Chain A
Amino acid sequence: MPIWMELSILALIAYGIGLALGWAVISRGGK
């Protein structure tokens, strides 16, 4: 697997986690 593909997968995972955390924080704050 090329390095760019490995990095992309890592970046997407990090992005997904960031998105989920951000969503959780925003939805808690809205209550």
Chain B
Amino acid sequence: MAPRQPILIALGVLASTMLAVLGAKIGGLAMAQRLQAQAQEVVARQGGHGVTVRFQTGNGWPTRHAVLDGGKHLNDATRASTARAIAAIPGVGGVRWFNASALVAREQEALRPLHCQDDVAALLRARTIRFEESSAAIDKSSRELVDEVATALRPCLGSIISITGHTDSSGAEPGNLALSQERADAVRDALVQRGIPRDGIRTLGMGSGMPVNGLEPDDPANRRIEFAVIATVPLKPTPVDVPGPR
């Protein structure tokens, strides 16, 4: 590389930056003002009375990222819908409330509930966990399905996962009850082996007492394992003893 080349490249960097700053100086303020006028229209349409919109950074530079303020008397739903409507204006980069760090526009995504139960239900709709005849040993062909169930349950760690075993009505009921419990326990053990914590799993054997809706109690399709994600326990930080003022 010739000795002049790095200097030329650095000059190019400087020139592009200056061109960009100049461009922003000429068009930036007009753009921010246009966005502000559109945002104010949107605020009025959404009923966000008292909400002010600013397209300026803390240093007074024009920006595409709106900062909303005021509207403290409005309920959360109106505030959120106002913010989302502003975020939907073409050209707006992002929306946040003054003194709030979270991006309001992404609020809905952040609060989306976990779908483990639906995922597991979807897996088990087409296939079932099979057991060897009159035994609680999981059939070899179902091990892959158990792997997939464990993967689907992983996002719900911290929830209570209920595993219920069912049988058909062939055979004596006490035996069916015991077998359904053993099968539910076998599925729990298989999940524990795949990294799901044992203390978050509850098992229950129902015997033949709850056949599938629309099926006769002696139909073999009643032999099944059902999963339910009972409660989502939010992860709490370890409590720290903070001494009060003296």
In the assembled complex, B62 has its CB within 8 A of some CB on chain A: yes
The reply to whether B25 and A14 contact each other, CB–CB distance below 8 Å, is no
Interface code B1-34, partner A: CB below 8 Å = 1, 0 otherwise?
A: 0000000010011001101110111001001100
The distance in angstroms between the C-alpha atoms of A26 and B30, with both chains bound, is 41
Is A25 an interface position by the 8 A CB rule? no
Q: Is B98 an interface residue (CB 8 A)?
A: no
**Set of chain A residues within 8 Å of B20, measured between Cβ atoms:** 4, 7-8, 10-12
Give every chain A residue within 8 A of B9 (Cβ-Cβ). Answer: 19
**A4 contacts which of B13, B16, B61, B93 (Cβ < 8 Å)?**
B61
Residues of chain A with a CB closer than 8 A to B62's CB: 2-3
Q: Nearest-CB distance from B4 to chain A (Å)?
A: 15
B183 at the interface (CB under 8 A from A): no
A30 vs chain B, min Cβ distance (A): 14
| A2–B60 CA distance with the chains assembled, in angstroms | 9
Chain A, Cβ-Cβ closest to B61:
A2
Number of interface residues of A (CB under 8 A): 13
Q: Is B82 positioned at the interface, with any CB of A under 8 Å from its CB?
A: no
A6 touches B16 (CB 8 A): no
Select B21's contact among A1, A7, A10, beta carbons within 8 Å: A7
Q: Are B64 and A3 in contact (CB under 8 A)?
A: yes
Known: A7-B21, A7-B23, A8-B21. A1 touches B12 (CB 8 A): no
Out of A3, A6, A8, A19, which one reaches B17, CB within 8 Å?
A8
Give the chain A neighbours of B25 by CB distance below 8 A: 4
Please tell me if the beta carbons of B16 and A11 are within 8 angstroms of each other in the complex: yes
* Residues of B with C-beta under 8 A to A4: 20-21, 24-25, 28, 61
Interface string of A2-31 (1 = CB under 8 A from B): 111011101110110001000000000000
* Cβ-defined contact, B28 with A11, below 8 A: no
B57 within 8 A of A: yes
In the bound assembly, the distance between CA atoms of A8 and B32 in angstroms comes to 17
Q: Give A residues with C-beta under 8 Å from B.
A: 1-4, 6-8, 10-12, 14-15, 19
5 A–B contacts, CB within 8 A, in A order: A4-B24, A6-B64, A7-B24, A8-B21, A15-B13
Residues of B that sit less than 8 Å from A by CB: 9, 12-13, 16-17, 19-21, 23-25, 28, 31-32, 57, 59, 61-65, 93
Q: A1-B65, A2-B63, A12-B13 are in contact. List 20 more A-B contacts (CB 8 A).
A: A1-B63, A2-B28, A2-B57, A2-B59, A2-B61, A2-B62, A3-B32, A4-B20, A4-B25, A4-B28, A6-B64, A7-B20, A7-B23, A7-B24, A7-B28, A10-B20, A11-B19, A11-B20, A12-B16, A15-B13
